[in-house]
Each structure stands twice: as C-alpha cells, then as structure tokens.
Amino acid sequence: MQQKISNYNFAGKKALVRVDFNVPIQDGKITDDTRIRGALPTLKLILGQGGSLILMSHMGKPKGKKKPELSLSQIVDAVSAALGTPVKFAPDCADASEAAAALKPGEVLLLENLRYYPEEEGKPVGIDKEDPAYDEAKKAMKASQKEFAKKLASYGDCYVNDAFGTAHRKHASTAVIADYFDAENKMLGLLMEKEVNAVDAVLGNIKRPFIAIMGGSKVSSKIGIIENLLGKVDKLILCGGMTYTFAKAHGGEIGKSIVELDKLDVALGVEELAKKNGVELFLAPDAVCGDDFSNDANQKICPANNIPDGWEGMDAGPEARKIFANAIKGCKTILWNGPAGVFEFDNFCGGSRAIGEAIAEATAEGAFSLIGGGDSVACVNKFGLADKVSYISTGGGALLEAIEGKTLPGIAAICGE
C-alpha cells in the first residue's frame, strides 16, 4: 500500500525530504523564494509532529563540480527564517552521517548541493556519447549512483519527495533513493500531492471546452506537448516567438523576428493535425513589432505575416489579443504555458497580460485554470493575477510531461508505474 503523508507519524523520525530549493540568487540574495515557501507545509507538518528534517536539494547546474556560487549554504538563513528554527548545514552531502545521526526531534539539517556529485544526475562526465568507452562509463556511473543514493538514504528513517520541479528526472535523490525505503516509509510531500491532483483535475475529468495556450520562444522545444495536446484539447492558442515560424511557413515576411527555419514543416504539420483532430487553432494575425530587442525600441503594429525588414514581432497585436481573449472566454479547462511576447519588457507584455486577464475572467466564471512553467508563472505574478487562477504549478518540464501523460520517475518511484 502506498503511504500517505497525512497518515504517517513523524514523531521521533528523521525525515529525509527532497525539496526543490533551486531558487534564483543574485549577488548572494534570493530574488524569488516561491520554492522555499512551497515546501513549508510539508516541512512544518513534520516538525510539528516532533520529527526532524534532513533537507536535500540541487541548485543550478554545477555538473558534478563544487561551484561555490551554487552552494546551498547561501540559503541557510532564508530557510531558517521561513521555518522559524535554526537550520544546520552539512557541507558535504555524501558525508553527513554524523550530522544526521546527531539530529534531535524538531531539528533541521540542510545538505549541500546534491549536484556537486555527478552521481546525483547519473550521467558520466568528461566523456562524449560517441566515445566507444561511453557505455562502460555509463554502467559504472549507474552503479555509483546507486551507492550515492544508498548513502543519502542511510541518513533518514523515511523519505518524502516534495520536489515536483525535478520529478521528471530519474536522479539519485528523486527516484533511485526510493528503492532503499520500504513502501511504508516513502511518500509524496504535500506540494507534490497538490501538483498531482492539479494535473488529475485537468486530465482526469476534463470539463469542456478545454483550451491550451502555448507560448514562449520556440516551437521546437514544445512540439512534443503541442502534438499531444492536439489529441486532448478543443482549442489551442499558439503564441509568442513561434508565431513567426508559422507565418514564415506560409511564405510570410517576418523581418528579423525569431524563427526556426528548419521547423517550417513542423509548423505545417501542427496545423494539419489540428484540422484532422477538429481542434480550433488560433495564431496571432498581428504583432507589436520593435526595431530593436529592447524595452525602449520603437513600436509598430504589423500583420504577423508582413513585418518589414529591420523590425521584429515582440508581442501579440491588438487584433490577436481580442481573438485570444474570445477563444478563452467560456472555456472550462485552461492550461497556460509560455508567454505571448517578450513579457519581461513592460512595453511588450500587453499580449501576455490580455491572456492572463482572460484566464482570470474565465476562472471567475467557473473554469479550472492551470498555469505552469516559469515564464507564465512570472507573468501571472507580474500582472497580479496569481490569486485569480486555479492552480500555479511549480513545475515546468515536469508539468508538461505529466500533462503529456508520461509517468514521472519521481512519482513512479513512490507510487509505482
């Protein structure tokens, strides 16, 4: 039987918790602590019952190297403040047995960045995939990954995975480690449960019409999910930088807009599949263009397929905004991933704002809206709409893979396939 965190008694137990404390840091300061706050319900539940915490996380991509700028020591004070209790720090995550053993009920130990060890990700380093010795190196790495996971597992009496953002990775601390705990002593954390429930709310019982809004810079990075969604949604808005790959595929003039010239056939394929599946596809007919990739660029509204040389499409135009808002109106299930323009520039964020506002209105009328992926989350925060949507996911890639119907290794390791 799969263990539930709400049924577990943490009193006197050392809980080894995989959190996602991969927070953005600038000049030694955390610029967004959403991820720390996201883990608090689980952490407070455990401490409140008289358990102790051993927290493990990665930060950034040190690729197996001990990079000081990616040290989790930088967040000790912030985690202490968030938990309201001092947090001890283990400077070597693979050598923390003593510190873990010394923990008393109610105490907290944070381990150093797991990715300082290549074993966390389990990919051989310093060897090319083409190298004839690669397979051997990979096998050796998988074996040492198991040892690394076993070592981490030895610190705790039970294992809680609350890191949805990395649930689509089969890493030592997210999946392999679960093998060293019996079913009774491993479970999803509260944040993870919420994320799984949000995905179920979208996929398990789809209320129609179901619309997906996919934006961002490129079609290539999202083609898998776009094709998959075309089998599920009633309507699909494709916006952001990918607009111009579609316009180009139809022979449009797109100036210096972002484009993937090797993906023109992919764009046409998406249109064909949408038609075949009876999905209404919405693309921006017009664009707010700039003569420079900057907030202060001169602006001009152009048809998305007739942008003059020297100009680039940087946001959805006024006509597009109306069409998008109309498409969203009345929908009962809404998924948003990726902005409609370069929303980071205040002068080019109007298209993304229009989408956010239309989603908020539809939500007020009873739709379930799920926002996922760093940039769309940043959008709803920027526009003050965070409490007007149904659920904001902490996962980008993990959310999209879950929506695609893929089994996430981090969840499968606890709940089974």
Q: Which residues are catalytic?
A: 35, 218, 374, 397
Give me the least distance between CB of 380 and ligand AMP, in Å please.
Answer: 14
Is residue 382 part of the contact set for ligand AMP (CB under 6 A)?
Answer: no
Neighbours of 363 (CB within 10 A): 19
Neighbours of 47 (CB within 10 A): 20
Is residue 314 part of the contact set for ligand AMP (CB under 6 A)?
Answer: yes
Q: Which of 258, 327, 389, 403 binds ligand AMP (CB under 6 A)?
A: 258
Residues 6+ apart with CB under 8 A from 61: 70, 115
Query: Binding string, 145-164, against ligand AMP, x = CB under 6 A?
Result: --------------------
Whole-number Å distance between alpha carbons of 27 and 5: 37
Amino acid identity for residue 334 in this structure: I
Q: Which of 118, 124, 313, 409 binds ligand AMP (CB under 6 A)?
A: 313
Is residue 38 part of the contact set for ligand AMP (CB under 6 A)?
Answer: no
Q: Which stretch binds ligand AMP (CB under 6 A): 334-342, 359-367, 387-395, 403-411?
A: 334-342
How many residues in the shown chain lie near ligand AMP by CB under 6 A?
15
Give me the least distance between CB of 38 and ligand AMP, in Å please.
Answer: 20
Residue the block writes with tokens 């995975």: 161
DSSP 221: G
Cβ pair 38, 165 in contact under 8 A = no
**DSSP β-bridge partners for residue 280:** 235
Is residue 401 part of the contact set for ligand AMP (CB under 6 A)?
Answer: no
**DSSP β-bridge partners for residue 256:** none
Of 121 and 375, which has the nearer Cβ to ligand AMP? 375
Of 170 and 218, which has the nearer Cβ to ligand AMP? 218
Closest CA to 218 of 124, 338, 102, 98: 338
Query: Which pair of structure tokens corresponds to residue 15?
Result: 């809980």
Whole-number Å distance between alpha carbons of 91 and 95: 8
Q: Which stretch binds ligand AMP (CB under 6 A): 110-118, 245-253, 298-306, 337-345?
A: 337-345
Closest CA to 353 of 364, 335, 363, 339: 339
For the four alpha carbons of 105, 110, 115 and 119, in that order, the dihedral sign comes to negative
- H or E element in which residue 211 lies: strand 210-214
Is residue 344 part of the contact set for ligand AMP (CB under 6 A)?
Answer: yes
Q: Which residue is nearest to ligand AMP (CB)?
A: 216
Of 113 and 369, which has the nearer Cβ to ligand AMP? 369
Q: Which of 34, 221, 347, 390 binds ligand AMP (CB under 6 A)?
A: 221
Of 306 and 407, which has the nearer Cβ to ligand AMP? 306
Whole-number Å distance between alpha carbons of 273 and 284: 19
Closest CA to 108 of 54, 29, 158: 54
Is residue 291 part of the contact set for ligand AMP (CB under 6 A)?
Answer: no
Give me the least distance between CB of 241 and ligand AMP, in Å please.
Answer: 4
Q: Which of 51, 156, 189, 241 binds ligand AMP (CB under 6 A)?
A: 241
Q: Which stretch binds ligand AMP (CB under 6 A): 115-123, 138-146, 212-220, 353-361?
A: 212-220
Whole-number Å distance between alpha carbons of 387 and 186: 32
Q: Which of 62, 122, 124, 341 binds ligand AMP (CB under 6 A)?
A: 341
Whole-number Å distance between alpha carbons of 314 and 385: 22
Is residue 339 part of the contact set for ligand AMP (CB under 6 A)?
Answer: yes
Is residue 217 part of the contact set for ligand AMP (CB under 6 A)?
Answer: yes
Q: Which stretch binds ligand AMP (CB under 6 A): 137-145, 217-225, 278-286, 384-392?
A: 217-225
Of 122 and 338, which has the nearer Cβ to ligand AMP? 338
Closest CA to 151 of 198, 96, 84, 90: 96
**DSSP β-bridge partners for residue 211:** 235, 334
Give me the least distance between CB of 194 and ligand AMP, in Å please.
Answer: 23
Closest CA to 241 of 258, 228, 255: 258
Amino acid identity for residue 100 in this structure: A
Give me the least distance between CB of 222 and ligand AMP, in Å please.
Answer: 7
Of 32 and 344, which has the nearer Cβ to ligand AMP? 344
Binding residues for ligand AMP, rule: CB under 6 A, are 216-218, 221, 240-241, 258, 313-314, 338-339, 341-342, 344, 375
